[in-house]
């Protein structure tokens, strides 16, 4: 049988909170809406975040944190109380579609493994009692390290020591119409292969036929690590006689910065991986084993988490920094709407959500005065006069100044009331500067001494997007990459 999860695959994002200056829920949701992100996964069931997500239509996966798993797995009443408090209190206004029970429990919290299936069952029973089981699925994310002998994929099987948990868990997923949640990190497979796995193979870059990996048992060709891992999970389930359970990838991504031991954690590689991943998923490519079968995926992650323990790379998986500034601009031509438009060379400066109106007015006055912005389009009867409020007018003036200065670092600051976005704020006949600015030609030289506000937040400086880091491809691909996979430290 062919597993079926969703008619069309979707891309979502994980929202971690190990951030010293965590944006408030309203700011988080504003970023999600501005970037047209329609699916999110939370690592808990934070009340304020769920309230902020209400009436947005955004589809939400909430989580039972690992530290609550033992209690829920040992008590049906505790599970029912959790559902009442964290689910019933928010639906239907908040579009909760999935509950992730724990995170990589078998590898991160093995002492809780004996109660994992009970926790899934108790949570599901509470949903049944509330008539929510048809709209909210229950599952649990796994590390791909529970899969052994993963290449060739047709030989893969789950670590047999976990079969007493995996078999009843898969029966639960099958009987409830749910799906296997899998965290897939080609970055770690590449890093641990010591040059055996080509970088291009990990990044979804095109490979010549002689560089593709071929499963000698099925003769299926694999052009990327991601598909090989997902198919390994399909084959591992088949080994246990489960052939119709779909897979949702709950985490996948690439770090944009690392220390000297992680030279391939770069902005260019992170951009390449995530851009290609999004395109691959949204094209409904499926995998060689199940072509055309959706493999919806959540990118790890929305924000860089500066408080994450571990190496430098652990703090740099995000698409945005805590200010909402993109770490890099994803290249998404032809792959549909995920993070706004394909804005490789397009960024805009807008009024920051929730900014003080008096400060906005002062910044607007400066931009239209000493800042030398042509604010005539804001006059009554002109294309950008409506909406007639300080936020809309400041956004136009900020963007005009930002592009007149060639989008130089610091020119979208305005004492903290402005922010860079990749979403074009143009509306109706009001076309904002930057829509067709391209490379920013014919701009003035930026003088930081003339900028509105005395301090410039250097964390808002856009990374240099020029050039692409090219890596040599090794001549041959070993058919037996390491069985032991490292995994991200589980903090939640």
Q: Catalytic amino acids?
A: 104, 251
Q: Which two tokens stand for residue 34?
A: 């501005």
Nearest 5°: CA angle at 439, between 438 and 444?
115
pTM attached to this predicted model = 0.71
β-pairing verdict for 157-158 and 147-148 = antiparallel
- The boundaries of every CATH 3.20.20.80 domain in the chain are 11-315
pLDDT confidence of residue 411: 84
Predicted confidence pLDDT, tens digits, the chain (492 residues): 556 555 689 999 999 999 999 999 999 998 898 888 999 999 999 999 999 999 999 999 999 999 999 999 999 999 999 999 999 999 999 999 999 999 999 999 999 999 999 999 999 999 999 999 999 999 999 999 999 988 899 999 999 999 999 999 999 999 999 999 999 999 999 999 888 898 999 999 887 777 789 999 999 999 999 999 999 999 999 999 999 999 999 999 999 999 999 999 998 899 989 999 999 999 888 999 999 999 999 999 999 999 999 999 999 999 999 888 888 877 654 434 445 444 445 678 889 888 899 999 999 999 999 888 999 999 999 989 999 999 999 999 999 998 888 777 678 889 888 887 767 788 888 888 866 544 333 444 434 444 454 332 222 222 233 222 222 222 222 333 333 333 344 444
Separation of alpha carbons 466 and 459, rounded Å: 19
Rounded to whole angstroms, what are the CA distances from 1 to 169, 242, 303, 323, 449? 19, 9, 38, 46, 67
Residue pair 185/488 in contact by the 8 Å Cβ criterion: yes
pLDDT confidence of residue 423: 73
Q: Which two tokens stand for residue 271?
A: 């951009």
Q: Which two tokens stand for residue 136?
A: 């909210």
pLDDT confidence of residue 4: 57
DSSP 241-275: T--S--EEEEEE---S---TT-TT--HHHHHHHHH
Q: DSSP code of 327?
A: S
pLDDT confidence of residue 81: 97
Longest CA–CA span in the chain (Å) reads 73
Rounded to whole angstroms, what are the CA distances from 373 to 29, 353, 378, 403, 418? 31, 22, 11, 10, 16
Instruction: Kindly provide the b/e burial profile for residues 413-451, where b requires at least 16 CB atoms within 10 angstroms of the residue's own CB.
Output: bbbbbbbbbbbbbbeeebebbbeebeeeeeeeeeeeeeb
Separation of alpha carbons 10 and 284, rounded Å: 9
pLDDT confidence of residue 67: 93
Neighbour count for residue 118 (Cβ, 10 Å) = 17
pLDDT confidence of residue 211: 76
Nearest 5°: CA angle at 130, between 129 and 132?
110
Rounded to whole angstroms, what are the CA distances from 110 to 15, 106, 114, 147, 404? 24, 5, 8, 16, 57
Residue pair 25/46 in contact by the 8 Å Cβ criterion: yes
Phi, then psi, of 147 in degrees rounded to 5 = -95, 125
DSSP 453-481: SS---GGGPPPP--S----PPPS---S--
CATH topology of domain 11-315: TIM Barrel (3.20.20)
pLDDT confidence of residue 191: 93
Q: Which of 298, 66, 91 is nearest to 182 (CA)?
A: 298
Residue pair 450/179 in contact by the 8 Å Cβ criterion: no
Residue pair 239/156 in contact by the 8 Å Cβ criterion: yes
Rounded to whole angstroms, what are the CA distances from 173 to 111, 117, 155? 22, 10, 23
pLDDT confidence of residue 100: 98
pLDDT confidence of residue 337: 44
């Amino acid at each position: 049988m062919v597993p079926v999860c969703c008619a069309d695959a979707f891309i979502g994002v994980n929202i971690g909170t190990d951030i010293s200056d965590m944006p408030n829920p309203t700011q988080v949701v504003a970023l999600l809406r501005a970037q047209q992100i329609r699916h999110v996964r939370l690592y808990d069931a934070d009340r304020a975040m769920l309230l902020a997500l209400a009436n947005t239509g955004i589809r939400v996966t909430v989580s039972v944190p690992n530290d609550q798993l033992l209690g829920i797995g040992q008590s049906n009443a505790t599970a029912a109380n959790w559902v009442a408090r964290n689910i019933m209190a928010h639906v239907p206004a908040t579009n909760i579609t999935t509950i992730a029970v724990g995170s990589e429990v078998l590898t991160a919290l093995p002492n809780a493994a004996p109660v994992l299936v009970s926790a899934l069952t108790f949570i599901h029973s509470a949903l049944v009692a509330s008539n929510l089981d048809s709209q909210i699925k229950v599952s649990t994310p796994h590390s791909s390290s529970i899969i052994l002998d993963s290449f060739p994929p047709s030989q893969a099987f789950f670590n047999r020591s976990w079969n007493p948990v995996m078999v009843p868990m898969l029966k639960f997923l099958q009987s409830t119409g749910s799906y296997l949640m899998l965290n897939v990190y080609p970055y770690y497979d590449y890093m641990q292969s010591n040059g055996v796995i080509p970088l291009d193979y990990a990044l979804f870059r095109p490979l010549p036929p002689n560089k593709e990996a071929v499963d000698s048992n099925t003769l299926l060709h694999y052009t990327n690590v991601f598909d090989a891992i997902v198919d390994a999970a399909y084959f591992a389930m088949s080994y246990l006689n489960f052939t119709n359970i779909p897979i949702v990838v709950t985490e996948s991504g690439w770090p944009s910065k690392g220390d000297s031991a992680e030279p391939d954690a770069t902005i260019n590689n992170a951009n390449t991986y995530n851009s290609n991943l999004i395109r691959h998923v949204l094209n409904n490519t499926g995998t060689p084993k199940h072509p055309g079968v959706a493999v919806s995926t959540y990118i790890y992650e929305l924000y860089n988490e500066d408080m994450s323990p571990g190496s430098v790379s652990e703090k740099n998986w995000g698409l945005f920094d805590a200010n909402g500034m993109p770490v890099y601009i994803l290249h998404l031509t032809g792959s549909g709407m995920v993070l706004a438009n394909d804005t490789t060379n397009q960024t805009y400066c807008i009024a920051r959500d929730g900014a003080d109106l008096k400060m906005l007015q002062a910044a607007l006055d400066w931009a239209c005065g000493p800042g030398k912005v042509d604010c005539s389009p804001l006059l009554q009867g002109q294309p950008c006069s409506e909406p007639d409020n300080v936020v809309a007018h400041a956004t136009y003036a900020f963007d005009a100044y930002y592009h007149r200065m060639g989008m130089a670092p610091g020119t979208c600051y305005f004492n903290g009331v402005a922010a860079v976005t990749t979403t074009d704020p143009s509306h109706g006949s009001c076309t904002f500067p930057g829509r067709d600015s391209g490379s920013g030609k014919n701009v003035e030289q930026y003088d930081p001494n003339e900028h509105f506000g005395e301090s410039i937040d250097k964390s808002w400086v856009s990374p240099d997007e020029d050039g692409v880091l090219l890596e040599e491809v090794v001549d041959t691909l070993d058919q037996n990459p390491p069985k032991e996979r490292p995994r991200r430290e589980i903090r939640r």
